[in-house]
Chain A
Amino acid sequence: MTNTNGYLSGSNLERVLKNGHFAVTAELGPPQNADRSVIIKKSALLKGYCDGVNLTDNQTAIVRMSSIGAGAILVQEGLEPIIQMVCRDRNRLAMQSDLLGAYALGIRNLLCLTGDHQSFGNHPGAKNVFDIDSAQMVQMVSEMRDKRIFQCGEEMKGQEPRFFVGAAESPFAHPVDFRPYRLGKKVKAGASFIQTQIVFDIPAFKKFMEKVRELGIHKQTYILPGVSPLKSPTMAKYMRDNVPGILIPDEIIKRMEAAGAIWAGKSKDELTPEDKKARSKAWQAEGIKICIETIQQLREVEGVSGVHIMAIEWEEAVKPIVEGAGLYPRPVVPAPEPQADKN
């Protein structure tokens, strides 16, 4: 079995986490077109500010540039991709084949997800796949790496794909009591890192982590809670009311509203474009501030190994958040001695 100097994959993210650093990952949403310059532009905003960049896989069931394609561009640009793969669009054959290709393109981190139902997206009439689920995907790719077998049990000859394998958990989705156990199942399946749904409610997250620690799961995996800068009070309320598993305390909504208080109570027509711009700026500044404070609080929670910043279509926010949270510069952990691929 290939072993990359004690690392599973030797990826930057794995090295940072294994060496005890508080990790930072950030999300990059690929475009709804084939323009590589979008990826290059967005990646420039993230370079140096995170240890790995999540590339979403047809997020919310909307067709976008593939996470593997975008990931390959990131590799060329000198950033570290964490490709996301959902169970909605591929069966086990397509998953394994695409992952062989992704590894060959230099991609080393993989986040296994169930995927939003296609009814949310722009092809609601599509047939979904869900041949295997996310826990089974974690198991499959871990065994491709550790046992050098395909899902069918057949032995793999030649270079096996060695991914640093992650999974997601939504700590506040229902049934809440089962969430830590479900996390445990994914870790048992082989998930080395966990990125969570966006956290705003620190006491609720602490309660979740208490159970996670009681089960000892935090010692078997690296947990990176998700955070997200709010852009406006409307966005905050929308997320609170419409996205399963996102809890936003009233206090945070009030802070967002207060940030725009001087423009409050005025109708659309009373606000000049400059007013709107200034209000938006004030909201965004508060959103970033809340995000920084959230990170600082999460950092104090035992069992938290890093944060995953989801600045949705707002990659510019990552830099001030990382700097503001005192997480810049990012640690440099030398790569293990390069090993010759076996073939």
Chain B
Amino acid sequence: MIVAEQKTLEEIKTLVGSAKNVLVAGCGTCVTVCFAGGSREAAIVAAELRMASKLAGDAKAVADVTVQRQCEWEYLDEIAEQVGKVDVVLSLGCGIGVQAIAEHFPNAWVVPGLNTKFMGLPTEQGVWAERCAACGDCILGLTGGVCPIARCSKSLLNGPCGGSLDGHCEINSDVSCAWQLIYDRLTSMDKLEVLMDIQPPKNWKTSRDGGPRKIVREDLRLGKEE
């Protein structure tokens, strides 16, 4: 899932600025699951904004609404009317949600209420960790299902570096050394020979380095009407 974290109320207040009518837009998918921008959080942020603006003597009208997925036009159509009525939309979606609103409603002013952090998973209640960097050319088949691009601080393909100690990365003892994980897993699966080949330089063209990415599936596109 996409994992995000709420911005501070201070920053949100600054982003909302002098707008009188505010719509806090939650998203019912990834950010709901990571407790950052679902309907519950949208209602709380709306209440906080109402309270803060009232205390500041500049009471705002703040409503909240949550769509199933901010990243799909169809779901955004449902809130078109509400969006049209406000001065600002505070999106509690990920960065994709914010942009989807901006693209779909050219006349709406939208600001982000979250910081989109990474693609990952919950490792325990209340803890999320990064797992994928969307490099566009998956190498997990070579590394026992542990991604060194996302999980090694240096994205090494022929690791580990000299900074690996007791299973931790040199940058922080809270960070696991991805190459230790890879080594342990390949050892336990009796597949260590995979690590003996030198992995060639990665072609980062499939990653963000190649420019903004796009997938076109001709088999799925709707044909033009004759």
* Chain A interface (Cβ < 8 Å from any Cβ of B): 87-88, 92, 114-117, 119-120, 128, 130-136, 139-140, 151, 168-170, 173-175, 178, 181-182, 184-185, 188-189, 197, 244-245
Contact = CB atoms under 8 A, between A and B. Distances in A.
Given A117-B153, A130-B155, A185 B160 contact: no
A178 B195 contact: yes
A244 B158 contact: no
Given A131-B204, A132-B201, A181-B195, A114 B161 contact: yes
A174 B167 contact: yes
B162 A173 contact: yes
Nearest to A197: B162
Contacts of B195: 178, 181
A59 to B, nearest CB: 13
B201 A140 contact: yes
Contacts of B156: 114, 130, 133
Contacts of A182: 158, 160
Contacts of B157: 133, 136
B183 interface: yes
A88 B170 CA distance: 14
A175 B196 contact: no
B187 to A, nearest CB: 8
Contacts of B177: 174
A167 to B, nearest CB: 11
27 contacts: A88-B154, A92-B201, A114-B154, A114-B161, A114-B162, A115-B154, A117-B154, A132-B201, A133-B157, A133-B159, A134-B158, A136-B199, A136-B201, A168-B162, A169-B162, A173-B165, A174-B160, A174-B167, A175-B164, A175-B179, A175-B184, A181-B196, A182-B158, A185-B158, A197-B162, A244-B162, A244-B165
A76 to B, nearest CB: 32
Q: Which of B170, B180, B196 has the most C-beta atoms of chain A within 10 angstroms of its own C-beta? A: B170
B54 to A, nearest CB: 37
B198 A188 contact: yes
Contact of A133 (B158, B167, B170, B172): B158
Contacts of B204: 131
Contacts, number: 92
Contact of A135 (B158, B162, B172, B179): B158
Interface residues of B, number: 31
Interface of B: 153-167, 170-172, 177, 179-180, 183-184, 195-196, 198-202, 204
A170 to B, nearest CB: 3
Given A119-B171, A140-B201, A87 B154 contact: yes
Contacts of A117: 153-154, 163, 170-171
Given A174-B166, A181-B195, A151 B160 contact: no
Please list the 5 inter-chain residue pairs (A to B) with the smallest Cβ-Cβ separation, ordered nearest first: A170-B162, A244-B165, A135-B158, A114-B161, A132-B201
A130 B153 CA distance: 9
Q: Which of A132, A133, A173, A182 has the most C-beta atoms of chain B within 10 angstroms of its own C-beta? A: A133
B208 to A, nearest CB: 12
Contacts of A185: 158, 196, 198
Contacts of A114: 154, 156, 161-162
Contact of A173 (B164, B184, B198, B201): B164
Nearest to B172: A119
A140 B195 CA distance: 19
A197 B156 CA distance: 19
Nearest to B161: A114
A140 B198 CA distance: 12
Contact of B162 (A92, A140, A184, A245): A245
Contacts of A174: 160, 164-167, 177, 180
A184 B195 CA distance: 11
A185 B157 CA distance: 12
Contacts of A87: 154
Given A117-B170, A151-B201, A178-B160, 13 more contacts: A92-B201, A114-B154, A117-B163, A128-B154, A130-B155, A133-B156, A133-B158, A139-B198, A178-B183, A185-B158, A188-B198, A197-B162, A244-B163
